[in-house]
Chains A and B, each alone.
Chain A
Amino acid sequence: MIVVVSILVFLMLVGAVAASIFRDLISAVIAAALVSLFASILFYFLQAPDVAMAEAAIGAALTATIFIIAIRRTERFEE
């Protein structure tokens, strides 16, 4: 149990760092969505399936879509 949680938290950290490092904003959004996805799996393992579902649908899918729409309107690459 503690191993699974540690792996998930590590993956979330990797995703978060990747999201802040990437210069390609689309990749950054995907990395940020991955953080949400791993968070939702973590919620499931912590016995909160209701929160996990909301996190997966809103955090991973809808937020990423809104960011991608915003990026389409502006610049794809930073600097």
Chain B
Amino acid sequence: MRKTIAILLLVIVALGIRLSLAKIPFGTPKTKVGRYYIEKGIEETGAVNIVTSVVVNYRGFDTLGEVTVLFIAAIGLGAVLTASSRGETRKTQPASLVLYTGCRLLFPLILIFGSYIFIHGHLTPGGGFQGGAIVASAFVLIYLGCREKRISEKLSNTLESLGGLIFVVVGLIGLAVGGYFLLNFLPKGQSYLLLSAGIIPVIYIAIGFKVGSELAGIIDKLIEQSK
């Protein structure tokens, strides 16, 4: 009975989505705003990856909000898990040799790949959020394979706070120099180079460190709690 109702509800929701999307033409033609970003994005912001120029430059304040939401979620999780009593520690069997060696081999490679993604956020697909998530998944691998190794909580907290601080300070410098928050006050430089697009790489590297340490910290707390 319950399953029938669930399937019925799903069908109704799917039909609703289908009907509401049926009127919108798929793909073409692009809206005025979309065309503007594609045509003017590179010369206005200096970032070749237009997604990044939108996320960090045109709507950078929204991104600050997103980062804050993630920060609050991490803080809330930490508060809940620290407040609850520590359960009895269960014995965990050590990982097999294949898993252990594989983790140790893959960990630095994934870490480098994640760093590459967020450092080159303004040139290639990806950015701070994606790179940070990849870095966090490298730490997940370490937690799964070599459980005796842990990142220090102090270091991850420091990196997290530093990332948020750099974001806000860069925004405030823009406010002081040009009159509005998150103004791109650094020179745009030549497009397609690593040191271009002004404050975009600075902010995205800060976001990368922040998201990476935050997600790794969340997984770390959950694993500690589940032992």
Q: Which residues from chain A sit less than 8 Å from chain B, CB to CB?
A: 49-50, 52-54, 57-58, 61-62, 65-66, 69-70, 72-73
Contact = CB atoms under 8 A, between A and B. Distances in A.
B126 interface: yes
B51 interface: yes
Interface in B111-157: 117, 125-127, 129-130, 133-134, 136-137, 140, 144
Given A50-B51, A53-B134, A73-B226, A62 B127 contact: no
A59 B30 CA distance: 29
Which residue of B51, B133, B136 has the most chain A CB atoms within 10 A of its CB atom? B133
A50 B127 contact: yes
A72 B226 contact: yes
Nearest to A57: B133
Contact of B140 (A49, A52, A65, A73): A65
B119 to A, nearest CB: 14
B130 A62 contact: no
Contacts of A49: 125-126
B109 interface: no
Given A54-B129, A57-B130, A62-B137, 18 more contacts: A50-B125, A50-B127, A53-B117, A53-B126, A53-B130, A53-B133, A54-B130, A57-B134, A57-B137, A61-B133, A62-B136, A62-B219, A65-B219, A66-B218, A66-B222, A69-B219, A69-B222, A72-B226
Interface residues of B, number: 20
Which secondary structure characterizes the binding site on chain B? helix
B162 interface: no
Interface of B: 49, 51, 117, 125-127, 129-130, 133-134, 136-137, 140, 144, 215, 218-219, 222-223, 226
Given A62-B137, A65-B140, A53 B222 contact: no
A57 B114 CA distance: 10
B133 A62 contact: yes
Given A49-B126, A53-B125, A61 B140 contact: yes
A65 B219 CA distance: 8
Contacts of B133: 53-54, 57-58, 61-62
A66 to B, nearest CB: 6
Contacts of B144: 65
Contacts of B51: 50
